Amino acid sequence: MMDATTAEFLKYAAEIREEVNEQLATYATFGDGCPERLEAAIRHSLMAPCKRLRPLLVLSAAETCGSTRRTAMPAACAIEMVHTYSLVHDDLPAMDDDDLRRGLPSCHAAFDEATAILAGDALLTRAFEIIARDQKPTSTAIQCVTELARAAGSCGMVGGQADDLAAEFQAGDVEFLTSIHRRKTGAMLTCCLRLGAISAGGTSAQIESLTTYGGKLGLAFQIVDDLLDITGAEAQIGKKTNQDTEHGKLTFPSILGIEESRQRAEKLIEEAIASLNSFGSRASNLEALAHYVLNRNH
């Protein structure tokens, strides 16, 4: 049976998801000049049913720092666009070659490979347009653009993906794997917390605490993701299972085993929650989110 805290968090997350979806639908309407097929491909991937975890982190961080969700909404939508672009490109035949994403045909499967590449490109550039134009004040927009570019770039998400691909069917240890995922997954999740805090005008101490939380949460998220690829149900997680094994990818369970991987994720979540102590009750939603990440089944 679901406890009251979990139920309250899921209600909160659903409210945010609805607000984010409404704003994303507006941002994904391009008007004259954008080919209809390209816009359809963008909307197919961006508006597909999903948890909206990254916008949830941005908006929750802003609230934890004493601001409102509205303040951080442009940054929240922008990072979801960057995340979606990364999924569109990751699914391509040249990368992970997946034909299912978020319970729907992946972008290249629903349209074609060239259109999927262009849809990803358009999502990435739209994200930076949104922050530069809509995040206020201008000084905050500049900070947010810098943060997002760094997290998504060659030393962040893209670099992690490059090492992940290079490591297929290669031996590796847990330190190397952790290095990959601190960039491939963790950099963007940490960026979510930093964007929320920066949008809210958070202090250096608040930003540092949320950065620590994001780093711990990001690594735990990846470990759970690796576990779900083995133990999850395709209908629940919205993509094919056992793909990591088929592609010869390094994973935490392949190196540590299922039980030790689970224990490592639990410890990381404990540490993530401990990093929020200075916020008191204002961090309750981030604490609940950390428990959700650990116990998710999709």
Dump pLDDT digits (tens) for 11-24. 999 999 999 999 99
Distance of CA 123 to the CA centre of its chain: 15
> Residue ranges of the domains in the chain?
4-295
Using CA atoms, how far apart are residues 131 and 138, in angstroms rounded to an integer? Answer: 9
- Residue 49 backbone zone (phi > 0: left; psi -120 to 50: alpha; other: beta): beta
Beta-bridged to residue 101, according to DSSP, are: 104
What pLDDT is stored for residue 238 in this prediction?
52
pLDDT over 90 for what percent of the chain? 76
Residue 4: pLDDT band (50, 70, 90) is: confident
Flag whether pLDDT at 247 surpasses 80: no
What pLDDT is stored for residue 254 in this prediction?
87
Burial of 268 (0-12, 13-18, 19+ CB in 10 A): buried
What pLDDT is stored for residue 68 in this prediction?
96
User: What would the mean pLDDT of 137-142 be, rounded to a whole number?
Assistant: 97
What pLDDT is stored for residue 295 in this prediction?
87
Dump pLDDT digits (tens) for 174-213. 898 899 889 988 999 999 999 999 999 999 999 999 999 9
What is the SS3 assignment for 101? strand
What pLDDT is stored for residue 123 in this prediction?
98
What pLDDT is stored for residue 167 in this prediction?
81
Query: What integer best gives the mean pLDDT of the chain?
Result: 91
Residue 245: pLDDT band (50, 70, 90) is: low
Say which range, 85-89, 134-138, 230-234, 253-257, has the weakest mean pLDDT.
230-234
Distance of CA 52 to the CA centre of its chain: 8
Residue 6: pLDDT band (50, 70, 90) is: confident
Flag whether pLDDT at 276 surpasses 80: yes
Residue 125: pLDDT band (50, 70, 90) is: very high
Output the six-digit token pair for 289.
């989110």
Look up the CATH architecture of domain 4-295.
Orthogonal Bundle (1.10)
User: What would the mean pLDDT of 140-158 be, rounded to a whole number?
Assistant: 96
pLDDT over 70 for what percent of the chain? 93
What pLDDT is stored for residue 244 in this prediction?
59
